[in-house]
Amino acid sequence: MNLRRDVFQAIADPTRRSILMLVAAQSMTAGAIASNFDTARPTVSKHLQILTECELLRSEQNGREIIYHLNPNKMKEIADFIEPFRKMWDEKFNKLESVMKAYQSNSDKR
């Protein structure tokens, strides 16, 4: 059975989010990524495996090294999914701001 990892479970982990931030700034080898964390290299390798399986990262063999790159297309899919929620909350906060300004204006008149 081929189980597909869920991208949102992958980005729920703070270490994996940190890895994504690192690789977003610059493509890196597993060793370079691991040097940024106080965990065992196999732990970082597992995180890289999960991010690669979710297609958030892509790996490229370069001689003996594997270089990890951010997959911007997959990141855009996540952003596209989240965008309607962001718009909804922006609208709610804008309405709340209007109510608060009206309340403030009424209380200033007293």
pLDDT one-digit tens code per residue, 61-85: 989 999 999 999 999 989 999 999 9
Could you count the other beta carbons within 10 Å of the beta carbon of residue 95?
A: 10
Element holding 66 (H helix, E strand): strand 65-70
Task: Report domain extents, the chain.
Answer: 7-73
Could you tell me which of 69, 77, 74 has the C-alpha nearest to residue 25? Answer: 69
Rounded (10°) CA dihedral 90, 91, 95, 98 = 60
Domain 7-73 belongs to what topology?
A: Arc Repressor Mutant, subunit A (1.10.10)
Q: What is the predicted pLDDT for the residue at 49?
A: 96
Q: How confident is the model at residue 26 (pLDDT cuts 50, 70, 90)?
A: very high
Q: What is the pTM of this model?
A: 0.76
User: In whole angstroms, what is the distance from residue 41 CA to residue 30 CA?
Assistant: 8
